[in-house]
Structure 1
Amino acid sequence: MARWHEVAAELRTAITTGVYAPGTKIPKEEQLEERYGVSRTTVRRAVAQLASEGLLQPVRRGGTTVRQQPPRQSLTLDLQAHRDELGYYFGQAVQALRAVQPPTVTEGPCPPDVAAVLGLTSGDPVVIRDRVMGDPTTGRVIQLATSYLPTDLAASTVLAEADTGPGGIYDRMEADLGWGALQWAGTISARAATPTESALLDLDPGVPVLCVIRTTIASSGAAADRVVEVNVTRRDASRFEVGYPITRHQ
């Protein structure tokens, strides 16, 4: 094990056992050098590792503090599609969210993980719909939502327009394009945040995003049995968690 790994491990233990409480500063670099008998470079690599894990937070001209871990809001795993006057929504926790920035619609290459779900080749063009969602009162960004749609189905249709009208793209698919009653399936994962996601969601260094990936399948018409959309929503993984009920098997 490299020496900086050992220093990081000892600091990590001190943080998790409460020796260094949330919001307090860890010793200065020169103090850590003396304590562990290592170089400044070794100390900085160890501290950078713990910052990437979300345990430490460098403060400009103020040393390094133990990151405060905010309480998490539970997103109950919802297995139903709901509907209100604005259209479909998925989960009670997102019903109140509204766009806090104008949505953008572009055409670009499909990401490799999404291409596999859409039955495309990585890099194939797709219509990309981006929405920044948040609290309509405070304007705080809470969720980023991106929809990927195959160009052979969506390009030059209402699905490629910024304003798709009442009910959004799902009403257009069902009512206007004749794709029948839509079906959905979802998965949950996490990954490192991109610089853009970190900025929009105001993430602390090292905090990943919680991803909910939803696929939309058409039931009839020209798109029958095809995945017509992959929607990827991202949230601050330090503030949100997924909850679900557990029942006793009969």
Structure 2
Amino acid sequence: MARWHEVAEALRGAITAGIYQPGAKIPKEDELQEEFDTSRTTIRRAVAQLTAEGLLTPVRRGGTKVREQPERQSLALDTAVYRDELGYYFSKTVQHLRALQPPTVTQEPCPPDVLALLGLQAGDHVIIRDRVMGNSETGRVEQLATSYLPADLAAGTVLAQADTGPGGIYDRMENELGWGLLEWEGIITARPATAEEGDLLSLAPGVPVLCVTRSTIATAGAAEGRVVEVNVTRRDASRFEVRYPISRA
């Protein structure tokens, strides 16, 4: 085991044992050098590792403290689609969320991780709709939502406009575009946050994003059988968890 791994493991153990309490600073670099009889570089690598794991966080004007773990909010694993006066929504726990700023709409090559879901080839373009969602009263950002729509279907239609009208893109797909009653399927994953996601969600260093990816399938018209949208929502994985009941078979 590399020396910095040993130091990281010792510090991790001290945090777990409560020797260093949440919110408290850990010893300074020179103190840790003396304690572990090692170099400043080794100490910094160990601290960087624990910061990446979300156990430590830098303190403005110097030092490092043990990160306080926030109480998690549960998201029910909901397999139903609902509707209210604003249109479709996919979990009762997110019904209260509202757009905190106007959506941005661009046309770009499809990201590699979405290609297979949309049945596209590398270089194919998509319409990308980005939304920042949260609590309209506090202004706190709770969710980032991005929709990817095949450009061959969406470009030049209302789906490529910032304001898609009452009911949003799903009402336009089912009604004006005649794509039938839509169907959906979803998957849940996690990944490291991008720098932009970290800023918007105010993520602590090392905290990943919880991703819910939903595919929208058309059942009629020119797009019948195609995945006409992939929607990826991201949340602070340190603040949210997915909860579901377990039944006997």
Structure-2-length-normalised TM-score: 0.99
> How far apart, in 2, do the equivalents of 1:198 and 1:124 lie?
28
Unaligned runs of 5+ in 2: none
- The reply to whether residue 210 of structure 1 matches residue 210 of structure 2 is yes
Structure 2 residue aligned with 1:194: 194
* Alignment match, 1:91: 91
Say whether 1:67 aligns with 2:67.
Answer: yes
| 1:59-95 deviation line (CA, Å, top 9, x unaligned) | 0224111000000000000000000000000001110
| 1:101-140 Cα distance to aligned partner (Å, 9 max, x none) | 1101000111111011101123321000000001011111
Aligned-partner Cα distance in 2 for 1:122–1:188:
24
Is the aligned partner of 1:146 residue 2:146? yes
Q: Secondary structure at the match of 2:148?
A: strand
For 1:32 and 1:170, locate their aligned partners in 2 and report how far apart those are by CA, in whole Å.
Answer: 57
How many residues are aligned here?
249
**Cα distance in 1, alignment partners of residues 139 and 109 from structure 2:** 30
> How far apart are residue 40 of structure 1 and its match?
0.4
SS across alignment from 1:176:
coil
Which residue of the partner structure matches residue 233 of structure 2?
Answer: 233
**In structure 1, how many angstroms separate the alpha carbons of the residues matched to 2:231 and 2:201?**
18
**In 2, Cα distance between the equivalents of 1:212 and 1:140?**
20
Stretches of 4+ moved more than 4 A in 1?
A: none
For 1:159 and 1:174, locate their aligned partners in 2 and report how far apart those are by CA, in whole Å: 12
Deviation at 1:2, TM superposition (A): 1.0
SS in 1 for 2:131: strand
Give aligned-pair identity as a percent. 72
Which residue matches 1:126? 126
* Equivalent position of 2:137 in the other structure: 137
Kindly indicate whether the alpha-carbon contact (under 8 Å) linking 1:112 and 1:121 is maintained by their aligned counterparts in 2. Answer: no
**Structure 2 residue identity aligned to 1:51:** T
Counterpart for residue 39 of structure 1: 39
Supply the distance in 2 between the matched residues of 1:18 and 1:82 (Cα, whole angstroms): 45
Q: 1:248 Cα deviation (Å)?
A: 1.3
Separation in 1 of the partners of 2:123 and 2:203?
29
**Does structure 1 residue 18 correspond to structure 2 residue 38?**
no
Amino acid at match of 1:192: P
Does the 8 Å contact 1:112/1:123 carry over to 2?
no
Rounded to whole Å, the distance in 2 between the matches of 1:203 and 1:101 is: 19
Give secondary structure in 2 for the equivalent of 1:19: coil
C-alpha distance in 2, partners of 1:35/1:175?
69
Where does the alignment leave 5 or more consecutive residues of structure 1 unmatched?
A: none
Deviation sequence 1:191-210 (CA, Å, 0-9, x none): 00000000000111111100
Aligned-partner residue type, residue 53 of structure 2:
E
- Cα RMSD (Å) of the superposition? 0.7
When normalised by structure 1's length, the TM-score is 0.98
2:161 aligns with 161
